[in-house]
Amino acid sequence: MSEQGLSVSEVCQTFRNENGTHTEALDNICLTIRPGEIVSLLGPSGSGKSSLLNIIAGFDAPVSGEVRLDGERITGPSAQRCVVFQTPALFEWLTARENVTFGLKRSRVPPARRREEAGEMLRLVGLDGFEDSYPHELSGGMQQRVALARAFVLHPRLLLMDEPFAALDAQLRYLMQSLLLKLWKKRGQTILFVTHDVEEAIRISHRVVIFERRPGRIREELTVPFPMERRGELLGEPGFQALREQIQRLMFTL
Ligand SMILES: Nc1ncnc2c1ncn2[C@@H]1O[C@H](COP(=O)(O)OP(=O)(O)OP(=O)(O)O)[C@@H](O)[C@H]1O
């Protein structure tokens, strides 16, 4: 039986710059994510987090090493791996519901069922009543909820999230993290989440992988010891401050 989950083996990435020089972005990255696990990549700007996410999404090929999902080698983009970006990237000419059903059209789901599933997802992200609104009629946070609904409705084998809440204010960001945890509890989705925010990484993930600056290497992998059910009141969780400080020390002494 092939191994389930994501497996990144000895991945290196180098970019050729326009002036003929090279940038070594990733150096020998090895990482596994079990099915249903949420793992955050945390690290300074330019440490290669997006480069790794682009390879896993299949947008870029590494110069060496390989990535497998459920044993299958990744060689290009696939609907099995859905990406949520910092900007919601919705289709402006489609309503919220149509944006959510769009990806389902490629599957064999019949139209009535698609409508039903989209409605259910929009309810889950708190957008009931806005099914027929166009993106320009929604706030930035509401648009990002639609983007989350669009990703989760597809049941992808892996959800890749590249700083999805970075453009939102602190309060909305917190609400979106809670929403992500709620969706995860319902769907048990495997998620790789890129962030700069230490608290966000601790709050939403089972494990935090800390990158160090160029060339991007993994400095440390830490397991977050708090049960997912208690992530809401993390500030009162004994050991939270210590973990946050430990991660900050690791990041600021890179
Ligand atoms: N297409 C490209 N061509 C040349 N260099 C690139 C390219 N993409 C990324 N790089 C370089 O690779 C390194 C890693 O970039 P990457 O965007 O992966 O970092 P990051 O950790 O995601 O940064 P940030 O947190 O700022 O988004 C950087 O030095 C960047 O300049």
Give per-residue pLDDT as tens, 80-120.
899 998 888 899 999 999 999 988 877 777 888 888 889 99
Ligand 1 nearest atom to the CA of residue 54, by list position: 18
Ligand 1 nearest atom to the CA of residue 51, by list position: 18
Question: According to the model, what pLDDT value does residue 175 have?
Answer: 87
Ligand 1 nearest atom to the CA of residue 26, by list position: 14
- Please report whether residue 121 resides in a domain: yes
Residues contacting 183, CB < 8 A, separation 6+: 124, 125, 148, 152, 189
**Rounded to two decimals, what is the model's pTM?**
0.92
Q: With a 6 A CB cut-off, is 19 part of the ligand 1 pocket?
A: no
Which range is least confidently modeled, 1-10, 136-145, 200-209, 232-241? 232-241
- Please report whether residue 139 resides in a domain: yes
Q: With a 6 A CB cut-off, is 46 part of the ligand 1 pocket?
A: yes
pLDDT tops 60 at residue 170: yes
How far apart are the CA of 196 and the centre of ligand 1, in A? 14
Question: According to the model, what pLDDT value does residue 169 have?
Answer: 85
Q: With a 6 A CB cut-off, is 51 part of the ligand 1 pocket?
A: yes
- Please report whether residue 103 resides in a domain: yes
Domain that holds residue 110: 90-155
Give per-residue pLDDT as tens, 199-223.
999 999 999 999 988 788 999 999 9
What whole-number percentage of the chain has pLDDT above 90? 57
- Please report whether residue 107 resides in a domain: yes
pLDDT averaged over every residue in the chain: 90
- Please report whether residue 120 resides in a domain: yes
Give per-residue pLDDT as tens, 18-73.
888 999 999 999 999 999 999 999 988 889 999 999 999 999 999 999 999 999 99
Question: How high is the ipTM of this complex?
Answer: 0.97
- Please report whether residue 228 resides in a domain: no
Best residue for ligand 1 mutational test, from 26, 27, 49 (most atoms within 8 Å of Cβ): 49
- Residues 185 and 111: their CA atoms lie apart, in Å, by 27
- Determine which residue's CA is closest to atom 3 belonging to ligand 1: 15
pLDDT tops 60 at residue 254: no
- Please report whether residue 181 resides in a domain: no
The total number of structural domains that make up the chain: 1
- Please report whether residue 55 resides in a domain: no
Q: With a 6 A CB cut-off, is 91 part of the ligand 1 pocket?
A: no
Q: With a 6 A CB cut-off, is 17 part of the ligand 1 pocket?
A: yes
